[in-house]
Structure 1
């Protein structure tokens, strides 16, 4: 214990956070793997649908988290107090509205995605407001670069979801999808640890100036648009496969997606470190491109290693992680990993420009995200075709981001 404590004390906050993220990602992967093995392909397709909805929530919540992180750096004193209250107010209002809509349309979602019951959607809906409050908390820690508390809130959410869900599945004889939804919802409560949120935080005692409020709303809208494109690109394939294919094929595809997305989930760690670093350097008048290049290099090396492993050992990886029932997806594993890797690298570019209030990458991502949906709608006769469509879309997106980065650098040097 003493040795571990000494190692932790010598680690920088950034490295501590990176280690924590790896643990959280590992825990989330273990969570998915256990569900896949316990439930089998057909039942896992419903659990995977809930996990996909959780990812959709995380992208929506990221709008509030990134906005809070950015203005935690730019604002101080009364401006920060006023913004902090405003962000909690917006998050609570938006979360409540989202939860009401999810609850109201639970029956329609049941028909759309062919689930056994609408109760799983209603259960998740009740807990949605908590997720957005949690996102503002995380943004505050991220902006202040309080990586210890930021790490802790991710750890409490992940471990509580893992333990609660597995406990419920083993002990309670109910619909597995409902139990997964219940575990996810309750984990949001634990994700509020640590937090000092109270309802007084949304009472408007101090207000932002019109100019600062305009900056806040502009950034929130811009970020929300980009997060919407993230939702489309990162989740539309699973939702469309769940709609067009039978439950067994949808479950098999969900296992493929979970393994292939490992690059994206690790890249997310660098996004958390990228935004406050870029905003701070821009505020101090220092060059920001070196940070982007460093993080792109990290993600690029990781992507090459993972795609190579998926190409050389596909059956071993799938059998190890999900079991014999899922090995039919082996030929597609490296291709899905390639598509996700391209998206992860494009994502680093997009968040970099988002930190600098550049909106062109948002438009590029939106166009390619919609194109991906349209192509899958027209070309979905096989799962192989669904994956090929995504590779085409992601290659195009990365090339577009690279061209914009080169163009932006040329403009900066000539101005």
Structure 2
């Protein structure tokens, strides 16, 4: 299996601009680029597949360039749903600096900022030297633009395609960059860049484009900053434990796809996990492996060890063995319920909404189903007071019902 065949097997190829792309990836040493705009101060899990794509190609001798769009970030790539909010110069600069630091630390790729070659272009030069090569009919037939015609699209966002095409042209001329890689929603921008290069530099220029399928959840929605519950690659925004839990809870229908796209595991290793998923899905070996591989790659063995320690402490009721920071990490994404201190456990379960009735709460307690901060409680009259060890950290208490149901109580 050659490199391009492996990329196809992993589900990383949506479309290519010509059949020559396959031979170029397999047999040449290309300089290629992948771009992202600094619309946030961290990359998220939706970006991760593209970053690993760059790493896969780099391991085979290709040279990656990561472009963070300090200029295109001012404009905003058109969305199908409507105009983007324009960010301030200060916000974009802070985001750019954060992404530069993050990418440099994690992957060490060469990085460029398209603001460097666009900031001094005058309006007249932009229209004469670049805009002249773009046919409006061609531009409005691009998929994302076409979807916006009924609701309207500003000239600002409409011009994004020209700016991104200018990036490809500049990197080709200055760094002999001959391949652009992007998500499948970038097809129109990539092909426009190829057209600009050919019109400016000659029809015989050998440049290519490759798009990747967007990674989606089991319900078909994509990972992104605009979706709820964004999973960030920055440990201060999404901790290693939170990332581990997110991946560990991957739907059976998606876990093999994620293993192919988000890890460096071999085909043989992934196929073994697929057999385990089919024959013994209750062991969740595929999900455990996915979570461990990604957390280790992003946050090192120390980050993975911390995630596993918190996970084990919650599962085995050893919460008190965690540090306060680890306890706060454990409850960070739990829904916070509220109840007054000094109530009985039975009253607390009902008033917080964990149990629907006093009868149900009593059955759970008497049936050995309730743990408070890792300690099993069988007395319905157990008093929820600090003296009775009802507080886990700060004014929070962790209630566990059965094996999988966790609740965070804020006691007032």
Which TM-score tier does this pair reach, normalised by the shorter chain? under 0.3
- TM-score, with structure 2 as normaliser: 0.27
- TM-score, with structure 1 as normaliser: 0.27
Bigger Cα Rg: 2
Higher strand share: 2
Higher helix share: 1
Considering Cα pairs closer than 8 Å and 6+ residues apart, tell me whether 1 or 2 has the greater RCO.
Answer: 1
